[in-house]
Copies of this chain bind each other. A is one copy, B any other.
Amino acid sequence: MRRAIVLLSGGMDSAVTLAIALSRGYEAYPIIFDYGQKNIKEMTMARKLCEYYSLTPKIIKADLTQIGGSALTDDNIPVPHEKTSDEIPITYVPARNTIFLSYALAYAEVISAESIFIGVNARDYSGYPDCRPEYYEAFRKLAALATKKGVENIKKASEEGITTPLILTPLIYMSKEEIVTVGATLGVPFELTWSCYESGDKACGKCESCLLRKKGFREANIEDPIPYRE
């Protein structure tokens, strides 16, 4: 069976991405990053999602509080409660997806995974640089060169443009509405996902991540099963 690594954040996008990988017949190997995120509810939900699908996640510790520079990892930078401007927000974590994909690339090499799924989205998103299609095009080229397989690829068939492992971003051009619709079709348990930048029993309903999620469910005309404070 073809193996795929799936990066799980606890949010709904990565949950839908996992469902997509499974629907394509992959044997899924979820990775959950314990990166020192303040919001530990994300990891709890990601683990619950794995339980739901009877998958054992690989928990990789990659402590980004060593680096800092983001409201999500640095205790000295508060998480904004509302969207403030059109700039890249302070919730951006420097080079986070590059670091996560690098670990995934290493793990893919060790377990001979054919693909790496990451649920990034460049339509209804926060403008993070490492969510854009051109970034993933660049990472695909890097991945094709970075590993043993890369060397073999080049030796054997550089002209064929083989790029293993494949870096797959099935949601990248979807709207949040489409993501919700696809997830509902595939039976994703949205009650086991969490998008709010804060932890707690109820999502705040006001942060940028909550706003994007609520918009997706509203436009898809599907009820969001998680509770909101407002």
A-side residues, CB < 8 A to B, are 58, 60-64, 66-69, 88, 92-99, 101-103, 105-107, 109-110, 127, 129-130, 132, 134-135, 138-139, 141-142, 144-148, 150-151, 154
Contact = CB atoms under 8 A, between A and B. Distances in A.
A71 to B, nearest CB: 13
A151 B127 CA distance: 9
A127 B150 CA distance: 12
Nearest to A111: B69
A92 B150 CA distance: 13
Given A130-B146, A146-B95, A67 B141 contact: no
Nearest to A87: B148
| Copies of this chain held together in the complex | 2
Contacts of A88: 148, 151
Nearest to A138: B142
B103 A99 contact: yes
Contacts of A93: 106
Contact of A69 (B60, B64, B106, B135): B106
A94 B109 contact: yes
A146 B139 CA distance: 9
Given A99-B103, A99-B106, A129-B151, 14 more contacts: A58-B66, A69-B110, A88-B148, A93-B106, A95-B102, A98-B102, A98-B106, A101-B102, A127-B151, A129-B145, A129-B150, A132-B151, A138-B138, A138-B145
B69 A61 contact: no
A138 to B, nearest CB: 4
A103 B66 CA distance: 10
Most chain B CB inside 10 Å of its own CB: which residue of A97, A129, A130:
A129
A159 to B, nearest CB: 14
Contact of A106 (B96, B132, B142): B96
A34 to B, nearest CB: 10
Contacts of A60: 66-67
Given A99-B103, A102-B99, A103-B99, A109 B69 contact: yes
Contact of A145 (B92, B135, B145, B147): B135
